[in-house]
Structure 1
Amino acid sequence: MFKHSEQVIEDSSEASFYMSPNMIINACPSEIYSQDLVLFLDIDGTISEFNPNPEKSIISSEIIGLLKQLQTYLTLILVTGRSIIQAQNLIYPFKWNIAGSHGLELRYQSELKTLIQLNPERLQQLKDYIQTHARQLAQLRIEVKRYSVALHFREHPDMEQAAHTLALNCLSQFPEFELKPGKYVFELVPQGANKGSAIQQIMQQYHSPTAYPIFIGDDLTDEAGFQAINALKGCSIKVGSGVTAAQYRLENVSQVQAFLEIFLTSLKAQEQQLSEKSHVKTHRVIKSCEST
Structure 2
Amino acid sequence: MFKHSEQVIEDSSEASFYMSPNTIINTCPSEIYSQDLVLFLDIDGTISEFNPDPEKSIISSEIIDLLKQLQTYLTLILVTGRSIIQAQNLIHPFKWNIAGSHGLELRYQSELKTLIQLNPERLQQLKDYIQTHARQLAQLRIEVKRYSVALHFREHPDMEQAAHTLALNCLSQFPEFELKPGKYVFELVPQGANKGSAIQQIMQQYHSPTAYPIFIGDDLTDEAGFQAINALKGCSIKVGSGVTAAQYRLENVSQVQAFLEIFLTSLKAQEQQLSEKSHVKTHRVIKSCEST
With the length of structure 1 as denominator, give the TM-score of the two structures. 0.95
Which portions of structure 1, spanning 4 or more consecutive aligned residues, are displaced by more than 2 angstroms?
A: 1-16
Post-superposition offset of 1:2: 30
Q: Aligned in 2, Cα 1:20/1:69: closer, same or farther, shift over 3 Å?
A: same
Gaps of 5+ in 2: none
Output the CA distance in 2 between the equivalents of 1:137 and 1:128.
15
Paired with 1:249 and 1:269, the residues of 2 have a C-alpha distance of: 24
SS at the partner of 2:223?
Answer: helix
**Aligned equivalents of 2:285 and 2:150: distance in 1?**
63
Name structure 1 gaps, 5 residues minimum. none
1:133-155 deviations in whole A, cap 9, x for unaligned? 11111110000000000000000
Distance of aligned partners of 1:64 and 1:13 in 2 relative to their CA distance in 1, 3 Å threshold: closer
Partner SS, residue 208 of structure 2: coil
Cα pair 2:7 2:245 within 8 Å, conserved: no
Q: Tell whether the 8 Å contact from 2:10 to 2:244 is kept in structure 1 after alignment.
A: no
Alpha-carbon distance, 1:3 to partner: 30
Q: Is the 8 A contact 1:5 1:220 kept in 2?
A: no
| Secondary structure of the structure 1 residue equivalent to 2:10 | helix
Q: Deviations over 1:69-115 (max 9, x none)?
A: 00000000000000000000000000000000000000000000000
CA distance in 2, matches of 1:3, 1:168: 38
Deviation (angstroms), 1:11: 8.4
Which stretch of the first structure deviates more once superposed, 15-24 or 236-245? 15-24
In 1: Cα distance, 2:140 partner to 2:70 partner: 39
1:238 aligned counterpart, secondary structure: strand
Q: Distance in 2 between matches of 1:23 and 1:4?
A: 15
* TM-score normalised according to structure 2 size: 0.95
Q: For the residues of structure 2 that align with 1:71 and 1:2, how far apart are their CA atoms?
A: 27
Query: Structure 1 residues 194 and 63, CA, compared in 2 at 3 Å: closer, same or farther?
Result: same
Aligned CA distance change for structure 1 residues 2 and 96 (closer, same or farther; 3 Å): closer
**Matched-pair contact (CA < 8 Å) for 2:45–2:253:** yes
| Conserved? CA contact 1:83–1:100, under 8 Å | yes
- Kindly state the Cα deviation for residue 17 of structure 1 after the two structures are TM-superposed: 1.6
SS of equivalent residue, structure 2 residue 15: coil
Residue of structure 2 in register with 1:167 after alignment: 167
- C-alpha change, 1:221 and 1:4, in structure 2 (3 Å) is farther
* Deviation, structure 1 residue 7: 22
Q: What is the match of residue 193 of structure 2?
A: 193
